[in-house]
A and B are shown apart, each in its own frame.
Chain A
């Protein structure tokens, strides 16, 4: 591959080291092979998940008419939508305050604290959230999951919104004020429309993080509030069935669709400058 690029090679560049291509290939195989197998076997005709017995989509049909799966999917959807909406609104407000609120004491500390949950081990957050609910005597169920999801979705929603806002000239908002727009009109007609791609991107990220979450959900879900990942986990304990493959494949497809859309929307951000 590197032979085709006519770039000058100056000195030793690790990326050009012979054999590097092989490693890269190995890395990608290692990364994606399990998923390829998973997707392939979701089209398996057999009753046992690991033995290939010909192509069929019958397990898709079986999965879709399964009441338990339908319930779990609905729960996942409700939780993800609620958590996404609340988290995105809060993240937008936080980004506005941190990027436009001027200097205030604790500004950089706040910035760190909004994004800290990204690197805190999820199990720690999960235990902490569970203890918190236990201490205040909060009934575990859909609502507790929604609250927990909202919390860990905020930083994911926050990052793209803030990136967009940082790239937006304050000149634009001043120009709006100069042209007789009050604070609300400035937000409504200038800031918000320009910020919109960042908000949509943040919301999509939050949504997919919520749908995919397992550990925290496992901790704070009560009886009857089963999400798709919890359901899959429950089924796997009884052995890997073709249905598990099917649900996983569907979730994978949704994730890929969202992430792709997210990248497209983020990439549109280059027209944000006022000149």
Chain B
């Protein structure tokens, strides 16, 4: 496996990265493989310390892989120094040159590529317009706010029109409103420029709203790669299901199997139908993942201690979150939209009836 499909912007093959050696060695990446397509908005998502930055740094050339290969448009690049890679980085802390003006910062990459003065000026102005920072051209970075610095860092990396743009949590230092605005701008920029974006974040909402595809990472491994909908709706394991959104994990046994579908009973008598994974059969203990918003609550006139009962109701503004005991000591969380003003539809102690939309439950690979 040493050639790569040239239509992939980036191919990472069996990359291992260790820091240090001997007993203190840290394995930041443990055999990672991923193909990122051209023009894709690709996100690396995972908790702190899972190796996201390390993967970016290997791609930019600031670190060398301990093992494995990295291809950029089919060309093997592990041995190229950073300045020979057609890749630019937006650093987590911007890393703007403090002694240069905004213009000089943005023009730096062009100057190093020996562009002519007028060409540089034209591209700098164009890029300043792109990030809506024209009026700040002659300021120094210290005279800018965090959000403005962030745009300049982005402009500086975009100006040379790299084939691949690496963004290391570029929005993490911004406040919520600005972050949301920048999300849309980044997405638009990516579409307009057609540059492949590799975006690092540990914010799942950011990942879900911006990405074409997401790689969920944990402990130096890629757990799952897929479109946002796929990752959210069909998480393959407990880590992904837990990391992305809220999830009920229901430990249960397979009751019946017909073809590819299994029926599991949880709590008192709630039945979940799911696809079978991992070749499980009748009687196997499995974990089901059910999103809180995929369970629908219905009023019921029946009163019985065997029926699901609401233990706790928490008002969340748009929703109410209920902790519901479904029997056998199994408690699930259910989100119910607050269609009317005031508290939710149910109160603690009430019996309710639970129904599921098809495919609400998902059997996990453990």
Contacts and interface: CB of A to CB of B under 8 A. Distances in A.
Interface of A: 169, 171-172, 174-182, 185, 189-190, 193-194, 271-275
B156 A274 contact: no
Interface in B74-102: 81-83, 87-89, 91, 93-99
B109 A179 contact: yes
Contact of A273 (B89, B98, B108): B98
A177 B108 CA distance: 11
B91 A175 contact: yes
A171 B91 contact: yes
Contacts of B60: 174, 178
B105 to A, nearest CB: 9
Given A180-B83, A180-B160, A175 B97 contact: yes
Contact of B97 (A177, A180, A182, A274): A274
A178 B93 contact: no
B96 A179 contact: no
Contacts of A176: 97, 108, 112
B112 A185 contact: yes
Contact of B88 (A178, A193, A271, A273): A178
Given A185-B112, A189-B108, A275-B149, A177 B83 contact: yes
Contacts of B315: none
B113 interface: yes
Main SS class of interface, A: helix
A179 B152 CA distance: 14
B89 A180 contact: no
A179 B95 contact: no
A179 B81 CA distance: 11
Given A274-B98, A275-B149, 10 more contacts: A171-B93, A172-B97, A174-B91, A174-B95, A178-B61, A181-B83, A182-B81, A274-B96, A274-B141, A275-B96
A273 B88 CA distance: 21
A230 B50 CA distance: 65
Nearest to A197: B99
Contacts of B93: 169, 171, 274-275
Interface in B43-68: 60-62
B142 A177 contact: no
9 contacts: A169-B95, A171-B91, A172-B97, A178-B62, A178-B87, A179-B83, A181-B108, A274-B93, A275-B96
Contacts of B141: 274-275
Contacts of B89: 174-175, 178
A178 B83 contact: yes
Contacts of A180: 83, 109, 112-113, 160
A179 B88 contact: yes
Interface in B98-124: 98-99, 108-109, 112-113
B314 to A, nearest CB: 39
B38 to A, nearest CB: 20
Nearest to B146: A275
A185 B97 CA distance: 14
Nearest to B88: A178
Contacts of A271: 98, 142
B99 A194 contact: yes
Contacts of A272: 98
B82 A177 contact: yes
A275 B83 CA distance: 22
State the 10 A-B residue pairs at the shortest beta-carbon distance, nearest first. A179-B109, A171-B95, A177-B82, A180-B112, A175-B95, A274-B95, A275-B93, A181-B112, A180-B83, A193-B99
Contacts of A171: 91, 93, 95
Interface string B263-282: 00000000000000000000
Contacts of A175: 89, 91, 95-97
A271 B96 CA distance: 12
B10 to A, nearest CB: 15
Given A194-B99, A274-B95, A274-B98, A179 B108 contact: yes
Contacts of A178: 60-62, 82-83, 87-89, 157
Nearest to A173: B95
A194 B100 CA distance: 10
A235 B80 CA distance: 66
B82 A174 contact: yes
Contacts of A172: 95, 97-98
A275 B160 contact: no
Given A179-B160, A180-B160, A194 B98 contact: yes
A190 B104 CA distance: 12
A272 B232 CA distance: 43
A273 B83 CA distance: 22
Contact of B94 (A193, A194, A274): A274
A76 B98 CA distance: 37
Contacts of A275: 93-96, 141, 149
